[in-house]
Structure 1
Amino acid sequence: MLTRTAVGAPGAGPYAVAVDAAGVTWTTLVHAGQVARIPPGGPPELHDLGNPDARPSLLALAPDGAVWVTRGGDDRIDHIRADGTRSSFAVGTGPYGIALGPDGDVWFTAIAADAIGRLTPDGSVALTQVPGDTGMPAMITPGPDGAMWFTLNRVGALGRVGTAGEITVHPLPDAGCGPVGIAGDGAAIWFAEIGAGRVGRLVPGDALQEFDLPDREARPHAVAPDGAGGCWVTLWAASALAHLDERGTVTAVHDLGAGSEPHGAALGPGGAVLVALESGHLVTLRPAG
């Protein structure tokens, strides 16, 4: 069953979504300079970032219920607590992807600097340049090997950065595949190849797996592991959400409505899947029964 929740003013643009263990949902409103927090059963609480051009993009949930948010429009990362108090850190690099590392630090991609950033709890920022030509690092995730993995959209590669900061680049077979979304499930790393209509899966140390989608023009954007070995993927150009099992077989495709522009996806309590639609809504897909 699909339900829709309008979030923000018309045109605010829900972009990323994250859900904590208590069922609290967070979403960025990329065109409004806001972040919304939605308690279970409650209306959205809007948190203004003080700059309508901040372009809040991606989210990382903290264990205490707070979130970290990248602001690509004014080169900052914000920390928003459950009670609405906020801290903001200048990083000066065009931050986009963000994730908490196993070391407790905040790791992020710095698109404008072609680097991987690391923000420590005391507010210090360190950048490590990605080797090679400009790769445009996009999203980032913890991997099952204790390192952080990220996509390099412009050169068709995955990157790996260890906690000591060393970076290695792993080219994909199709240099034009344009990987964007990436997420780990504790055993494998899933990623979306937006330029190739393909989803990839990698267990570090094993052979790469790549799965062609039925619609190669669907433009897969973000991935969300399902907790059972499979993965959900948003299909931006097709206005749809698809599910792949652990073998890469597409088991379901859900139409989200023409022009809906699905971007971020996240797994919620009870197996629900939430999708942020830039057209103005959060969609929740709940399993039958």
Structure 2
Amino acid sequence: MNEIREVSAAVREFAVSGRGSGPYALAEGPDGALWFTLVHQGAVARRDPGDGSVTVHPVGAGPTLVAAGPDGAMWFTEYRAHRIGRIAPDGSCSSFTPVTPAGGPFGIAAGPDGAMWFTLTAADRVGRLTMDGEVTEYPSPGAFPSAITAGPDGALWMTLNQHDAIGRITTDGTRTVHSLPTGGAAPVGIAAGPDGALWFTEIGAGRIGRITVAGEITEYPLPDPACRPHAVVAGPDGAMWFTEWGSGRVGRITVEGVVTSYALSRSDSEPHGIAPHDGALWCALESGSLARIEVSA
């Protein structure tokens, strides 16, 4: 599908699937393409950086988050199949089963140690998967570990959704937990910022949070407390960008805490994942499209 909807001078939307397929998360691959999960269709798709054509690869039940690996492939979690998947640029797939069954893998990120790290939400565990397929698991620092990212300090940082906290784990398994000031924050997305801190979304409290590697936390209330911020990423403009799942918008926050946002075509477009690609920000809309947001340097 190649329908383009001009939302504003800054936002364009590209239809890539039916509404029932559910584009959920996305990331730029080592091949320069934009890869995204179709959570309800059980597939991972690739959008060509040249002509914009989309190739869909069936993988397994509930592919959720996706990240580039150190081996030139894309790695993703299969939330309902309870596996970690790998897809090469040519579309060939393989999968790996965590040690703990029915763990509900969700977050995934490349670590500083050349392995992929993932969260098991239903098992309260954190996993490490080498390129050779060796899996190691550690107890999570808190309940319902969700998104995970590599920090500037050589550790992995994660949101603890049902613990109202941010967790940290070193590559040797040492764990730390930082409780959030706001109860019911239910953090989901997390990403390293350009300022040496970690930024995260509080879907339950309608806030964006910032935590230093020393554990100092700052929270920024959003104009719409019911916007349900979901994913967050560092943009090419030195700011953090996030999706507002509840309001159908994409937000931007500077490292000083100044917030702006962009409306998408529909308030029920359900934006989830967000990633930089081709000099812009792209987000996955569960309504069946990818949105491209122009970014000023």
Q: Does the alignment reach a TM-score above 0.5? A: yes
Question: Cα deviations across residues 206-226 of structure 1 (Å, max 9, x unaligned)?
Answer: 632211101111100000111
Match of 1:56 in 2: 63
- Give the deviation of 1:227 after TM superposition: 3.8
| Among 68, 81, 97, the residue aligned to 2:75 | 68
Q: Indicate the larger mover: 102-111 or 54-63.
A: 54-63
CA contact (8 A) 1:21 1:269 kept: no
Match of 1:249 in 2: 258
Q: For the residues of structure 1 that align with 2:86 and 2:215, how far apart are their CA atoms?
A: 36
Secondary structure of the equivalent of 2:108?
strand
1:202-221 equivalences under 5 Å are: 202-205=211-214, 207-221=216-230
Q: Indicate the larger mover: 184-193 or 2-11.
A: 2-11
Asked if 1:279 corresponds to 2:256, the answer is: no
Asked if 1:154 corresponds to 2:127, the answer is: no
Q: For the residues of structure 1 that align with 2:141 and 2:77, how far apart are their CA atoms?
A: 23
Question: Cα deviations across residues 94-141 of structure 1 (Å, max 9, x unaligned)?
Answer: 100000000011100001211111111221211111256xx1111000
Match of 2:46 in 1: 37
| Among 166, 171, 194, the residue aligned to 1:163 | 171
Question: Cα deviations across residues 58-104 of structure 1 (Å, max 9, x unaligned)?
Answer: 01112454210100111111110101111111123210000000001
**Residue 133 of structure 2 aligns to which amino acid in structure 1?**
G
Q: For the residues of structure 1 that align with 2:23 and 2:45, how far apart are their CA atoms?
A: 9
Q: Indicate the larger mover: 6-15 or 233-242.
A: 6-15
1:113-262 equivalences under 5 Å are: 113-131=123-141, 135-185=143-193, 187-205=196-214, 207-262=216-271
Q: For the residues of structure 1 that align with 2:164 and 2:66, how far apart are their CA atoms?
A: 23
Match of 1:107 in 2: 117
Distance change (3 Å), C-alpha of 1:263 and 1:203: same
Q: Indicate the larger mover: 64-73 or 213-222.
A: 64-73
Question: Cα deviations across residues 145-182 of structure 1 (Å, max 9, x unaligned)?
Answer: 10000000011000000010111111111131100000
Q: For the residues of structure 2 that align with 1:152 and 1:83, how far apart are their CA atoms?
A: 35
Q: Indicate the larger mover: 26-35 or 117-126.
A: 117-126
- Give the deviation of 1:252 after TM superposition: 3.5
Q: For the residues of structure 2 that align with 1:15 and 1:107, how far apart are their CA atoms?
A: 19
Secondary structure of the equivalent of 2:204?
coil
CA contact (8 A) 1:157 1:175 kept: no
CA contact (8 A) 2:283 2:291 kept: yes
**Residue 131 of structure 2 aligns to which amino acid in structure 1?**
P
Q: For the residues of structure 1 that align with 2:134 and 2:31, how far apart are their CA atoms?
A: 30
Q: Indicate the larger mover: 211-220 or 89-98.
A: 89-98
Please, what TM-score do these two structures have when normalized by structure 2? Answer: 0.90
Asked if 1:94 corresponds to 2:94, the answer is: no
CA contact (8 A) 1:180 1:191 kept: yes
Paired-residue identity, %? 47
CA contact (8 A) 1:14 1:281 kept: yes
Q: Indicate the larger mover: 16-25 or 160-169.
A: 16-25
**Residue 292 of structure 2 aligns to which amino acid in structure 1?**
T
Match of 1:79 in 2: 86
Alignment size in residue pairs: 283
